[in-house]
Structure 1
Amino acid sequence: MYRTLPYLGLFAAVALLQVFLFDNLTISIYLNPLVYIVFIALLPLDTPPAAVLGAGLALGVTMDFAMGAAGINTIATLLIAFLRPTLAGMICGRDNVREGGIPSSARLGERKLITYLVALTLVHHAVFFSLEALSWTHALHTLLRIVVSTAVSAGFIWIIARIFTAKIPVRI
């Protein structure tokens, strides 16, 4: 994988942002922004699936260790790492995935990038909050947490993606 150093920096930055900023936002019980998944979302589209799964495992274990969770982050992050090629192919088009490159608004278009980021965030949050609740008794409460947190997280993820991909040429 090319551009290893910027991705290590992105990994460290989103892990630190999640632990020290977003985990300490106590606006509401329904709002829990989980923005660390931007690392998986911004990996080049032609990254081998084993490398994406390895990155997802490393990110999930790191977040579980930092947040004191018992594997919930790892399960949700590994699922989006596994589903990423399929979602990217459905949303961005098979030709864009075959060409590779970093998902950015300049490369994919703003609408496709936002759809891609929201889809990954929605899948992650649905698994995360369902495992966190581990009960059907508060299904509406869990659904509300998924929807609100997905909306806020997707906004923050979009901002981070725009910052990270600002100086990158379209076809890299």
Structure 2
Amino acid sequence: MGRNSIFIHIVRFVLLVLVQVLVFNQLNFLGFVNPMVYILFFFWFPIKENRMLFIGIGFFLGLVVDLFSDTLALHAAASVTIAYLRPAMMRFVFGVNYEFQSFRLSNTTRVQQFTFLALLILVHHVVFYSLEIFSLSNLLLLLKKVLFNVLGSIVLCTLLSSLFSPEKE
């Protein structure tokens, strides 16, 4: 990773944490829908970087969001989970193509990008809300929170991703 690339990832990290903490943590649609847009960091992070470094950065990102959100490491646990499972999710969405040196997320179709982002968000939210509720007796509440928060996060992440991603011709 070059210096310019490291700088871009640091800026993305800081901006996504600030937007999450200052804007989206304050939103409360219908009393229980809180979109989580910091997941975009996992979507935008380079494919071929050191996996242990990526998991460590994911833990740190989740921990920073936890510190500002007062959520007792729930974000950290969910972030580490999606950082760890990201290669399997990429293999599921993109096939073995993502293992080649020339693979770039920007060279894939919009449907593949959307599917990958939706899968990241779904896994994150299932882990997050399962740990938050931590009871199968509240299964309907868990399903309701996961479903509506996944939908809200997908909509906002898709909008932000299309705003800040370079258009391909």
Would the TM-score normalized by the shorter structure come out above 0.5?
yes
| Distance (whole Å) between structure 1 residues aligned to residue 136 and residue 163 of structure 2 | 39
The answer for unaligned runs of 5 or more in structure 2 is: none
- The partner residue of 1:87 within 83, 86, 89 is 89
Contact 1:44 1:101 in 2 (8 A): no
Aligned partner of 2:73 among 71, 74, 81 = 71
The answer as to whether partners of 2:97 and 2:103 remain within 8 angstroms in 1 is: no
Structure 1 residue matching 2:49: 3-state secondary structure: coil
Supply the AA of the counterpart residue of 2:119: A
- Kept in 2, the 8 Å contact 1:35–1:153? The answer is yes
Letter in 1 for 2:56: G
Q: Is the 8 A contact 1:87 1:119 kept in 2?
A: yes
Instruction: Name the structure 1 match of 2:15.
Output: 13
Unaligned runs of 5+ in 1: none
SS at match of 2:105: coil
Structure 2 counterpart of 1:149, one-letter code: N
Runs of 4+ in structure 1 over 4 Å off: none
Q: TM-score, normalised by structure 2?
A: 0.91
Give the corresponding residue for 1:31. Answer: 33
1:133 is aligned to 133
Deviations 1:9-61 (A, max 9, x none): 11111101100110111222331111111101111111221121011011011
SS of the equivalent of 2:80 reads: helix
Alignment CA distance shift 1:90-1:124 (3 Å): same
Report the Cα distance in structure 2 between the residues aligned to 1:75 and 1:32, rounded to whole angstroms: 18
Displacement, 1:141?
1.2
Q: Please give the alpha-carbon distance, in whole angstroms, between the structure 2 residues aligned to 1:45 and 1:93.
A: 14
In structure 1, the partner of 2:161 is: 161
Report how far residue 96 of structure 1 moved.
2.7
Q: C-alpha root-mean-square deviation of aligned residues, in Å?
A: 1.7
SS at match of 1:54: helix
Identity of aligned residues (%): 26
Deviation at 1:151, TM superposition (A): 1.0
Query: TM-score, normalization: structure 1?
Result: 0.90
Contact 1:11-1:39 within 8 A present in 2 as well: yes
Contact 1:43–1:102, Cα closer than 8 Å, also in 2: no
**2:151 corresponding residue in structure 1:** 151
In structure 2, what is the equivalent of residue 118 of structure 1?
A: 118
